Structure 1
Amino acid sequence: MNWYVEVLKKYAVFTGRARRMEYWFFILFNFLISIVLALVDTMTGTFNSEAAIGLLGGIYGLAVLIPGIAVTIRRLHDTGRSGWWFLLIFIPIVGGLILLVLMLFDSEPGENAYGSNPKADGIMQS
C-alpha cells in the first residue's frame, strides 16, 4: 500500500525515476479499487452498462489519471527512455503491448539522464 500512496504523493511529478515495484503496485491497487467501485456502482444502480463505467469508478478514474501518467513516465525514465514513449499508447493494440513490455524492463543501472537509480537510493525497500 505504501507504493500506491507514494505515487499519489507525487501526483503530477513527471521527473525522476520510478521502480518496477512502485509502478506495478500502483497498477495492482488501481485494479483492485476499480473492481470494488464497480461492485458498489452496480449495487447502488449508478453503473452504466453501455459505457461500462459507474459514477464512483468514473470519478476515481479521473482522480488517478494524472498520477497514472506520471508514474508511467517516471517508469520509462527508469529504463532510460524519454517520457514521450508514452505516446505509443495511442497506437491501437500494438502500442499498448509495446508499452507493457517496456514497463517490464529492469532499471537502468546507476545514474541516467533522469536521475539516480531508485534501487540504489534505498527508497521504499520494504
Structure 2
Amino acid sequence: MFNQDWQYLFTSFEGRINRQPFWAGVIVLIVVNIAIAIVGGILGAIWGPLSYLATIASLVLIYPALALYAKRWHDRSKSGWWSLVALIPLLGAIYMIYEIGVQEGVPETNQYGPNPLGTARA
C-alpha cells in the first residue's frame, strides 16, 4: 500500500493531498460510518435511546471528512470552503466528486503548498 500519516489526513486543514490518500481516507470514513450504523442498530435494538450515540458518532465524522476535502480542494488550488458546494442538491455533490475525486491537482506549487506528488507534471 502506501505510507500515510492518518492523523494529518483526518485532522489538519493545511496543505495538499493527491487523489490516492483522498480516496483511501474516503474509504476509511465509509467503513467507519457503516460500523457505527451496525453498532447503532444493535444498541438501538437493545435500548432505543442508545441509537442516538451512533448518530452523534456519525456527526463527529464530519470534521475528518471536511479536513480531507479541504486538503484536496487545496490541491486543486481552491479554498476548502468550496466544500460548501455539496449543499447544492445533487449537482453540488456531483461537481464536488468530479473536482476533488477525479481531477488531478495543479502541478505547480500554489498558496497551499508544493505538489504532493513531488514533481511538476508536464
**Are 1:97 and 2:99 counterparts?**
no
SS class of match (1:120)? coil
Q: Give the structure-2-normalised TM-score.
A: 0.76
Question: Contact 2:108/2:114 (CA < 8 Å) preserved in 1?
Answer: yes
Q: 1:75 & 1:113 partners in 2: Cα distance?
A: 13
What residue number does 2:110 align with? Answer: 112
SS class of match (2:114)? coil
SS class of match (1:95)? helix
What residue number does 2:39 align with? Answer: 40
Q: When the two structures are aligned, how many residues end up with a matched partner?
A: 112
SS class of match (1:45)? helix
Q: Give the structure-1-normalised TM-score.
A: 0.74
What residue number does 1:51 align with? Answer: none
Q: Which runs of 5+ in 2 are unaligned?
A: none
Compute the RMSD of aligned alpha carbons.
Answer: 2.4
Following superposition, the deviation at residue 109 of structure 1 comes to 0.8
Question: Contact 1:111/1:117 (CA < 8 Å) preserved in 2?
Answer: yes
Following superposition, the deviation at residue 58 of structure 1 comes to 1.9
- The one-letter amino acid paired with 2:71 is R
What residue number does 2:9 align with? Answer: 7
Deviates more, 1:58-67 or 1:75-84: 58-67
Percent sequence identity over aligned pairs = 28
Q: 1:46 & 1:78 partners in 2: Cα distance?
A: 44
SS class of match (2:82)? helix
Question: Contact 1:4/1:22 (CA < 8 Å) preserved in 2?
Answer: no
Q: 1:80 & 1:34 partners in 2: Cα distance?
A: 29
